[in-house]
Structures are given as C-alpha cells and as structure tokens.
A and B are shown apart, each in its own frame.
Chain A
Amino acid sequence: MTDVAAPSFVRQELAPERPAPVRSTGFVGFVRARLLNSPTNILLTIVSLLLLWYSIVPAFKFLMVDAVWTGKDRSACLAENAGFSVGACWPYIQAKLPQLIYGFYPEAERWRVNLALVLAAILLLPLLVPRLPAKGLNAGLFFFAFPVIAFFLLHGGGISGFGVSWTAGLLRLFDDSIAGAGEVLLDLGKGSAIGPLLWLIGKFIMLIGAAISWLILPLTWLSDRIHGTGASVWVDFAVTTVVVSLIAFMLGGGVRSGWRAVGWSIATFVAIAIVIKLMGLDRGGLPIVPTNLWGGLLVTLVVSVTGIVTSLPIGIALALARRSTIPLIRIFSIAFIEFWRGVPLITVLFFATYMLPLFLPGNFSVDGLVRALIGIALFTGAYQAENVRGGLAAIPRGQGEAAAALGLSWWRTTSLIVLPQALRHVIPSLVNSFISLFKDTSLVSIVALFDLLGSLRASFSDPKWSTPSTLFTGFAFTGMIYFAFCFGMSRYSLFVEKRLNAHRRN
C-alpha cells in the first residue's frame, strides 16, 4: 500500500486575490438588498421617492417656509401684503387658540379648566407606568374621585345635601312612580273588559308603593329633620359617614375584622370633607359655567374621558351578563350589545338629543352635553363589552373551578380571580376602543356641541381671518392635535402588548 504514489500537489505561488464580497451589512448593503436588488425594486424605490417628495416637500413648505408667523388680522396672510404666495397663517391659530381650547369658557374662570387638566395628567401618568406602585388607589382616584371633582371644578355650583338626602329623594321618586303606575292601572280598569284583573293588579302595586313608603319612612324623616337644621350639608355628611362606616364595619366582619373597613371608610370621608371645604361646596361652590359655553379641546377631552370612565364598568357588567347562565339576563345583554353595535354613532347622538328628552319627565331637563355623554357611554359600553368578553373567554376554566374549590363565591371568584386576569389580557383592545372613542368625539359637533372640530369649523366663519390658506392652516393644526393623542395612545397599547407577551418572546 505504501508504494502507491500519492499524487501530491503543493501550490507554488499565492492564489490570486479575489475581489471582496459585495457588502451585505451597513448602509450600503442595506440599500443594495432592500432598495435596489432588482429592476422592479428600483422602479418601486423611484416611485416611492417621488411620492414622498411630492407630499413631504409641499407640506414642509406650506407649514414652515412659506408660513406667516406674525400678524394682527387677515391682511398679514394675504399674498399681496406678504410679497410671496402664503402658506400656513399661524397668527390665525394664535388668535383662535383660546377658542380652540376653551370654547367660550369665561376668560376669568379658565384657571379651573387648566387645574382640571393638570389634575387629570397627575392622576393619569402614574396609572400608565406599569412599574409604579399603588395602582388600586390610583385607579380609584382617577375613575371615581376625579370625575366628581372635575365636575364641580368645571361646571361649578355646590351641594345642598349629602348621602341621606340624595338616597331619600331617589327612593321617594321611585315610590311616587310606583304609586302613579298603580293609579293608572286603576283608571284603566274602569272601562275595560279585564277590569277586575287590572283593578286587582293596580291595588296590589299601590299596596307595594305604600309598603315601600313605610319602609323608607325613617330615612325621609331623617332627611327632613336634617334640612330643618342650619348647616344641613355638614349634618347630613356626618350622618352619612356614621351610617356608611357602620355598614362597612358589619360587612367587613364586625368586631373580628371590620376595623380595617372602617378605617378606609373614615379616611375616604375625611378626604371628601377636605374637598368639600376646599371648594366651598357647602356654600354654593364656584360660579356656575353652563355647558353651552364650553368648547374646543375641553369638550373633546371631557367627552372622551367621561366615555372612557363610564364605558368600562358598563362594558364589564354587560360582558359578565352575556356570559351568565341566567336566561333573561343573558338575552337582555345580547340584545342590548347587538343593538348599540348595529347602529351608527350619529343616530345614537340623534337619539340622545331628540328622543331622550321625550322619555324623561317633563319637568326634568337634561343638559345637551350630558345627553350626548349618555349616548356615547352606552354606545362605547357595548363595544367594550365585546372586548372584555374576549378576555373572559381567554381565561381557562380551571381558574374559576380552582376558586370554587377554595370556597369562593361567584362575586369573589369574578372580582379576585377572573376579572383581573381577563382585563390585563385585553388592555390593548381596550385602548384601541379608547382611540376610536377619542376620534368619535368629533361627532358631537353635529349635534350642536362645539368640540375641537366644531370650534375649528366655527372659527372658519370669522371674516377677520378669512384668507385662502386659513382652512388648510386650521386643519393642519387640529389634525396635529388629534394625531398626537391617537398616535400616543396607539403606541402605548403596543407597549403594553409587548409587555404582556414578554414571556412568549423567544
């Protein structure tokens, strides 16, 4: 085997140098691979460049280069005065900025709007950063305390009673309505074929009404006595505090474990008392600013924040009801959800503006803004219900069964085990709903409310500022505001989604 001469080859000279491979990294490689790798792609690149060139350059020229920055009225933004073809007319925005933000809110009271906005920002920002603690307290403040404070801050006015008088008044209204229904049935029974039956039902309902009026007698007596005293708000407040704390004590487990609940309840009431004292609610509060003076970004934010705060509980309740096994409740919530999801928001707003007043007692007039808010809350609530339902469906059955095995009731299972997980799952889709809610608030301008878009449209009709570029300037400015809010929210939803899926990344 050794005599087989192995053909050996030893290279005598150096191999010729090969050209370096085409760069596939860095900027040049990127351009080569993603922009210019084939004739079609070169063509597409050129087309996109042209598209960008013809959209970005004119926009930049309009907003910056050709823009007029200072001036007192329309004459500054006319081409013959400026000496060049005028782009954006920014003095117009400067002049109209208060109207776009506050509407016709009285100038002396605008600090209230600013204060409310600052409060909202202070409460909202820590809520959005996942790392910060005390989410429960923060959410409670934002979702429950802030709306009330903001109402008294923005609208003004005070209170004449507290818990006891409100409950008594509400129950009295309810009782009157029941008695009224009984009387109507008695009246109907007189001339009808099934008269005796109607009479019987009417009598029965009136009996119930009488029973309820006896039941609530202590409460109404108390409320009447309180109104007799001088400082009715504070007496009422003290009585409410005692009653609510007692109830909390009982529900919290009595002497054994109820002290904690009492502590929370008293702390809450002390906070409420401080707010009442600070804002002078017992002495009439701040001067009232009727909502028809509100406008601009203020209305947009009020409508969207109210929509967000109210639609979530409505949505959760509807979603739970839709998954319930109790037939009537399930059917009702399915019908409710499908109805509101099936109609356009604008018809809902028409409904709230023209039909709702007909359904309420004649002496009971609802503010135009509140009517729109009710419509939007119901509409968005139906959409949120479907989002929440998706989250509920994603929770494995085992979670609920494990909770049941530990002996938790349905309420505790839902509120402690199922809902926290479900809501965390659906934060991205909830935020997406909030984005569309924010965009949809622009529709209130159709039912004669002046939100940001409505104020913009109103400002177009001012002859003092009518120039060829006024319209485009106004749209550009408002568009930037809307875009900033919506884009911010969508980025936040992406951030949360990434955080939620962090465990699945690999």
Chain B
Amino acid sequence: MSTDARKPPAQIALRIRRALGGKAGWNGVAVQLGFAAVLGWIGYEIIANARTNLETQHIAAGFGFLRNNAGFDVNQTLISYTGSDTFLRVFVVGLLNTLVVSLVGIIFATALGFVVALCRLSPNWLLSRVGEIYVEIIRNLPLLFQILFWYLAVLAALPNPRASISLFGLVFVSNRGLVIPRPIGEAGFEPFLAAAAFGILASLALRIQARRALFREGRMIRIWPYVLGLLFALPLLTMLVFGAPFALELPQLKGFNFAGGARIIPEFVALTLALSIYTAAFIAEIVRAGILSVHKGQMEAGSSLGLSRGTTLRLIVMPQAMRVIVPPLTNQYLNLTKNSSLAVAIGYPDLVSVFAGTSLSQTGQAIEIIAMTMGVYLALSLATSLVMNIYGARLNRSLGA
C-alpha cells in the first residue's frame, strides 16, 4: 500500500511559464497580449494621426531641415556662428550654451552649498539660524520666480554702462551684463600651459604615491610643499623665463558702451545666479544630512586615537559622509542641468531656447526638434545614472557588503 513519490513537475515548462508570464503564469501572458494590443493600437493611432496632420499642414517629416539655413542670430556663441549657418549648428550652439551655464552653475552651487551646510552645522546658534533661513526661503520659492527676479528686477535696476559699477577698474557691472578683461595669448602661452599641465599631473602622481605609502607602510609623507611648488612656482618660473603668457585687454568705456574686454550677457548672469543659489539650498541640505549621518562615535574614536579635529574630519568623517552625499549630489547636478532649460523664459540662448523655441517656430518640425531636445537631456540623465550605478556597485564592494 505504499504510495510512490510523485514525480516532480517538469522544470522546463515551469521555467518557460515563469519567464513568459511572471508569477501570474498564463494569466500574465494573456495580460501582456492585451497590453501589447492596446499599446499597438495607441501607437498606430499616433502614427496615423501624425501623418495626416503633417500632410494637411504641408510639413515634410524627417531630419532634412537640419541642413537648411537658420537665418537668425544668437547672442552668445562659443563656436563661430552666423545667421547663414545651418540648424544643425544652431543645435550645437545651444547645446554648448546649456553645458556652459550648467558647468558654471554647478561650480558655484557646490561652493555655496558646502558653505551654507557648514553654517547650518556650526555650533554658533545665530549662524546656523542664518543658514536655515537661507535654505527655507530659497527652497520654498519657484526657480522660475527667482530667475525672473534676478533678471527683471535686480539686473534691470543696475545703472546703464556709462554709470556702471566698477570693481578695481577690471570688472564692470551694468544693466548690459558683466564686462571682464579678456586674456589675449602671447609668446609665453604654450610653455605656461605645458608647465601648468605638468604641475597638475605631477601633483596627482605625488598624491597617489603618498596614499600608497600611507596605506601600505603606514608612513606619512608630507607632500603639500611640493604640490604648492609644482602648481604655483613652476608656472611662475616659466613666466619669468618665457615672458607673460597672456595680456589682459581691459574694457574701456567708449561712448555709450564698452570697447574691449569680454562681455557676459545679463541673461547668463541672471541664470547662473538663480540656478546656483537655488541648487545650493538643496546641496546644503544634502551635505548636512550626509555629515549628520556619520555616527558621533566616529569623531570620538578618532580623537581617542590622538588625531586632531581637522585630521579626523578629513580622514574619518568626510569619507564616510561622502558615501551618503555623492548620489543625491549628482542628482542635484543633473537637476541643475535640466533646470537650465528655464533659460527660455529670459531668452538665454540655451538648447531649449534656440532649438526647441526659435528653430521650432521657424520650421514647424515639432516632432523631430522636440525628440532631439528630449533625447539630449535623456542621454545626459541616463549616462549619469549609469555612472552612479557603477559608483554604487564599487562602494558596495569596498564596504564588503
């Protein structure tokens, strides 16, 4: 009367079922088929409608328009551009302008954000309140509001170029923007560049060497005198030998405007100010949370080992805090880059403004232009999240998790 052990069910069939329909099995497959049908139907409707609509509007689909002449001017270009260049060049010009304003904004935002975070963490009650007020006010006002405030109210309230505010006769601030001296390369430029590059590389190598000595043999090597020498003394020396690397062309007030010097358009100034002030508030909160996330005992353990407060902060607290800080910080950098698209509100010629704005209204190629613009931002954010995933994986490995 013994019962035979039942045969285990065929694994292959189960696996296939699982792979095709997930835990729901064949029901899942049915759901997927229905879903695919609905998606297909929506896709068909979109394509059919777009085709008829484009036909009635007499717009030729495709990217051929990129080779046409743009015919409009852009008031800030990093590469040479005239109205007779193509739309493709407009795209590149806009992209470069976006990248420039993002990069400058990121640098300022990081610096300001760390300062504000340190203020908020300061044992000084008043200073931490000042930091808190800054963060609360800035975070609770829309970014577009702040951009418009700087552009329309503050920069427009500045005096005209004739009465512009001058800082040491070098930089002039007026309602036409910022005028700064322009460096012009001279004979000693190339040796200077070479020396500076060598200095940077050599100090990096020195640092790696010093860390290796510290971790392998426990020897502390004092490298900062050499680094200072490499970074500053060497370029200075080349300047003495080969002559000045560049001359500064000072701006001169001629008539109603400035001649010479480089002019930074007010849109750029307003956008950079607003973006960095806004993002700094968020960065400050991230940095503060990161530093607070390191347990108090770490600081105490460091001082019980005889390390000074600064060394403990640098070697023990910050590396652990950075682990918490870096992922959201990158997120903020990405947000800043995406937010730079608000430039369109004040007419700074970034990608959205010149490409999705002016070019779109001139050509009417809505699908292609918006797809390209979205594609750029999407590529940026996907690349960032890829880098962050790799970083996270490395971090997990180094933690031994």
Using CB atoms and an 8 Å cutoff, list the residues of chain A in contact with chain B.
30, 34-35, 37, 41, 44-45, 47-49, 51-52, 177-178, 180-181, 184, 324-330, 332, 338-339, 341-347, 350-351, 354-355, 357-362, 410, 435, 439-443, 445-446, 453, 457, 460, 468, 471-472, 475, 478-479, 482-483, 486-487, 490
Contact status of A362 and B56, CB under 8 A, knowing A328-B36, A471-B156, A490-B140: yes
Residues of the A chain whose Cβ atoms lie less than 8 Å from the Cβ of B194: none
Residues of the B chain whose Cβ atoms lie less than 8 Å from the Cβ of A41: 123-124
Among residues of B, the one whose C-beta sits closest to the C-beta of A338 is B382
A503 to B122, CA, bound (A): 30
A479 to B129, CA, bound (A): 21
Residues of the B chain whose Cβ atoms lie less than 8 Å from the Cβ of A48: 124, 126-127, 129-130
17 more contacts with CB within 8 A, not counting A178-B41, A442-B142, are A30-B125, A34-B125, A44-B127, A180-B48, A328-B32, A329-B35, A339-B378, A346-B341, A350-B373, A355-B370, A358-B366, A358-B367, A439-B141, A445-B345, A446-B345, A468-B157, A475-B153
Report the minimum CB–CB distance from B331 to chain A (whole Å).
Answer: 10
A180 to B41, CA, bound (A): 11
Fill in one digit per residue for B346-382: 1 if any A CB lies within 8 Å of its CB, else 0: 0000001000100010000011001001100110111
A327 to B24, CA, bound (A): 11
Report the minimum CB–CB distance from A488 to chain B (whole Å).
Answer: 9
Residues of the B chain whose Cβ atoms lie less than 8 Å from the Cβ of A177: 41, 44-45
A347, B352: Cβ atoms closer than 8 Å = yes
B156, A45: Cβ atoms closer than 8 Å = no
Using CB atoms and an 8 Å cutoff, list the residues of chain B in contact with chain A.
18-24, 28, 31-32, 35-36, 39, 41, 44-46, 48-50, 52-54, 56, 122-127, 129-130, 136-137, 139-145, 148-149, 152-153, 156-157, 338-339, 341-342, 344-345, 352, 356, 360, 366-367, 370, 373-374, 377-378, 380-382
Residues of the B chain whose Cβ atoms lie less than 8 Å from the Cβ of A479: 141, 145, 149
Q: What are 8 A-B contacts defined by CB distance under 8 Å?
A: A325-B28, A342-B381, A346-B344, A347-B373, A445-B345, A475-B145, A479-B141, A483-B140
Among residues of B, the one whose C-beta sits closest to the C-beta of A184 is B48
Which of B152, B352, B382 is the one whose CB lies under 8 Å from A342?
Answer: B382
B54, A358: Cβ atoms closer than 8 Å = yes
Residues of the B chain whose Cβ atoms lie less than 8 Å from the Cβ of A330: 22
A445 to B44, CA, bound (A): 33
Determine which residue in B31, B32, B126, B143 has the highest number of CB atoms from chain A within 10 A of its CB, and name it. B126
Report the minimum CB–CB distance from A501 to chain B (whole Å).
Answer: 16
A360, B374: Cβ atoms closer than 8 Å = no
Residues of the A chain whose Cβ atoms lie less than 8 Å from the Cβ of B20: 327
Contact status of A343 and B378, CB under 8 A, knowing A443-B144, A483-B137: yes
A41 to B122, CA, bound (A): 9
A472, B145: Cβ atoms closer than 8 Å = no
Report the minimum CB–CB distance from B45 to chain A (whole Å).
Answer: 6
Residues of the A chain whose Cβ atoms lie less than 8 Å from the Cβ of B56: 362
Residues of the A chain whose Cβ atoms lie less than 8 Å from the Cβ of B345: 445-446
Which of A35, A181, A482 is the one whose CB lies under 8 Å from B126?
Answer: A35
Which of B149, B157, B374 is the one whose CB lies under 8 Å from A343?
Answer: B374
Residues of the A chain whose Cβ atoms lie less than 8 Å from the Cβ of B126: 35, 44-45, 48-49, 52
Which of A47, A181, A332, A441 is the one whose CB lies under 8 Å from B39?
Answer: A332
B341, A359: Cβ atoms closer than 8 Å = no
A330 to B28, CA, bound (A): 12
A482, B49: Cβ atoms closer than 8 Å = no
Residues of the A chain whose Cβ atoms lie less than 8 Å from the Cβ of B143: 439, 442
A325, B22: Cβ atoms closer than 8 Å = yes
Contact status of A358 and B50, CB under 8 A, knowing A471-B153, A487-B140: yes
Contact status of A460 and B45, CB under 8 A, knowing A439-B142, A453-B142, A471-B157: no
Determine which residue in B28, B39, B156, B370 has the highest number of CB atoms from chain A within 10 A of its CB, and name it. B370
Contact status of A362 and B52, CB under 8 A, knowing A440-B142, A486-B141: yes
Residues of the B chain whose Cβ atoms lie less than 8 Å from the Cβ of A453: 142, 144-145, 148
Contact status of A357 and B140, CB under 8 A, knowing A339-B378, A350-B356: no
A362 to B378, CA, bound (A): 30
B152, A487: Cβ atoms closer than 8 Å = no
Residues of the A chain whose Cβ atoms lie less than 8 Å from the Cβ of B46: 359
A401 to B129, CA, bound (A): 48
Among residues of B, the one whose C-beta sits closest to the C-beta of A440 is B142
Contact status of A457 and B148, CB under 8 A, knowing A177-B45, A350-B356, A351-B374: yes
Residues of the A chain whose Cβ atoms lie less than 8 Å from the Cβ of B32: 326-329
B124, A35: Cβ atoms closer than 8 Å = yes
Among residues of A, the one whose C-beta sits closest to the C-beta of B42 is A359
B145, A347: Cβ atoms closer than 8 Å = no
